[in-house]
Amino acid sequence: MVKRYLTSNQGAPIVDDQHSLTVGERGPILLTDTVYLEKIAQFDRERIPERAFHAKGAGAFGYFVPYKSFASLTMADFLQDPEKVTPVFTRFSLAGGSLGGADTVRDVRGFAVKFYTEEGNYDLICNHIPVFPLRDPLQFPDFVHALKPDPVANIRGGPVAASRLWDFMSLRPESMNFLLYLFSDIGTVKSYRTIQGFGVNTYKWVNLCGEEVYIRYYWEPCEGVECIDSKMAAQLAGTDPDVASRDLFDTIAAGDCVEFEMRVQIIKSELECEQPFDILDSTLIWPEHMYPLIPVGRMVLNKNPENFFAEVEQSAFSPAAIVPGIAFSNDRILQGRIFPYADTQRYRIGTNFLELPVNMPRKPVDNKIQDGPMRSRYSTDIANYLPNTLSCGLPAEAPEKGNPPQECISGCVGRQEPAGDDYYQAGYKYRNMSEAEKEHLVSNIIESLSQADEPIQRRMIEHFMRTDNELGCRIAQRLNLTP
């Protein structure tokens, strides 16, 4: 029998397809990781033309105003003055569904905000669930494949779909936190006005003195959080599949505003290694009793798009779009998101997607990048290179801010599992649920897991037992399996 092993598209053997190439255990991902680059670049190009992920969405324009100056924490211009009003565009979306999907199905909701700041665009990309199911971005295409219809019959529901989802999740125990949020009633909503937004990843704020803090972002709906149960979700999917999109549009069209409060959690950078868990692990929450939420400002959405395709479908976001005062941490998931978002848009929309009005910065762009399909901005300088003297060397002046903070990194380059096995933080969430919430969670899990193959069910029961013994027993009992 011929042995089978993983290979690249060129046929070269791949030893490890699950762990990105990093500098040491906690260092950044390297651009020399050809396994990751090939896998994510191929994944970015899987769909024409709808987004491979977060395909269906709705959006609105508005503005953001901070409550006070945060100059002591960040030099970001839009957070310096409580009188400064920054225009924004926000897109809400369904993560796993297609363009024709229903707004109420059990899924992750995207919550992406584009700040048109005076220092360039800042894209803050959030989900309505506070954790990610994976620790390494190299596994992300596999995760999405497990959520999408199977490649043989192209059917989303039923036993095959359930087995595919739970098979993948049962082999990734770090997904337990994510699963408890997804299968709670938070996983089904009918309004974008009443969902939370979570940055999920860990970023850095940097002030003018070069001092850094780690932060995580939160958006809190000013109308309060609301969700629906699975029965209502199924009913609306059949009678009003665009309910969340319509609700957002109609609310603003009626003259009402949709408001969210930005909040952050903060940890001093020098205290990173003193925390009881890995603060860069996107599968874990930062408990609020340890890291209180700090109100930052308010976002008001008050203007509908004039044309859905031009302003919502063609909107493009990327975690790589940051401004001075905001920096990347070595959060592995964040590191893995920096490249593929913009790469996806270059493929989906075109090389010059940033020239579309909804994506265009509100300040002049000055560089030597040129040409490509649909180019409309251009330079009349004859010197399209740097350095030069023919155009006075422009742009030549170094900005006052913009250099990323210096960071000393050392470690052995290799592919390795992140340290730690804190897979079952989700138990705290379960034990703090009301009895009604626990019952809904178990019922929602059973509705899906009961369709999966029995070996997969047993693997999941083991994880649920480790998360919380009561939870595992309740699920096992409902499946008529001995825990």
pLDDT digit string, tens, across residues 22-43:
998 888 888 878 788 878 887 8
Is 129:198 a contact under the CB 8 Å cutoff? yes
Catalytic residue among 54, 128, 440, 463: 54
Cα→Cα distances 313→47, 245, 255, 350, 352, Å: 14, 13, 23, 13, 15
What is d(CA 217, CA 335) in angstroms, rounded to the nearest whole number? 17
Q: Is 291 annotated as a binding residue?
A: no
CA angle at residue 128 from 469 to 335, to 5 degrees? 95
- Average pLDDT over the chain, rounded to an integer: 90
Residue range 53-60: mean pLDDT, rounded? 88
pLDDT at position 200: 97
Catalytic residue among 19, 121, 127, 177: 127
Residue range 247-276: mean pLDDT, rounded? 96
pLDDT at position 418: 84
Task: Check whether 366 has a pLDDT greater than 50.
Answer: yes
pLDDT at position 7: 72
What residue ranges do the domains of the chain occupy?
26-364
pLDDT at position 396: 59
What would the pLDDT profile of 437-471 be if each residue is shown by its tens digit? 999 999 999 999 999 999 999 999 999 999 999 99
* SS3 call for 295: strand
pLDDT at position 359: 93
pLDDT at position 32: 77
Task: Check whether 395 has a pLDDT greater than 70.
Answer: no
Give the confidence band of 5 by pLDDT, cuts at 50, 70, 90.
Answer: low
pLDDT at position 242: 95
Residue range 336-342: mean pLDDT, rounded? 92
Higher pLDDT, 401 or 85: 85
Is 54 among the catalytic positions? yes
Residue range 291-311: mean pLDDT, rounded? 96
Identify the CATH homologous superfamily for domain 26-364.
Catalase core domain (2.40.180.10)
Nearest to 191 by CA among 258, 134, 140: 258
Nearest to 301 by CA among 273, 336, 261, 272: 261
Tell me, rounded to whole angstroms, the distance of Cα 350 from its chain centroid: 22
Of 178-192, 417-431, 452-466, least confident by mean pLDDT is: 417-431
Is 325:206 a contact under the CB 8 Å cutoff? yes
Measured over the CA atoms of residue 304, residue 89, residue 244 and residue 251, the dihedral's sign is: negative
Is 166:479 a contact under the CB 8 Å cutoff? no
Helix (H) / strand (E) containing 57: strand 56-66
Task: Check whether 379 has a pLDDT greater than 70.
Answer: yes
Range with top average pLDDT, 140-144, 159-163, 217-221: 217-221
pLDDT at position 48: 47
* SS3 call for 49: coil
Of 32-46, 335-349, 464-478, least confident by mean pLDDT is: 32-46
Ramachandran region, residue 37 (left: φ > 0; alpha: ψ -120 to 50; beta: rest):
alpha
Task: Return the percentage of the chain with pLDDT > 90, whole number.
Answer: 67
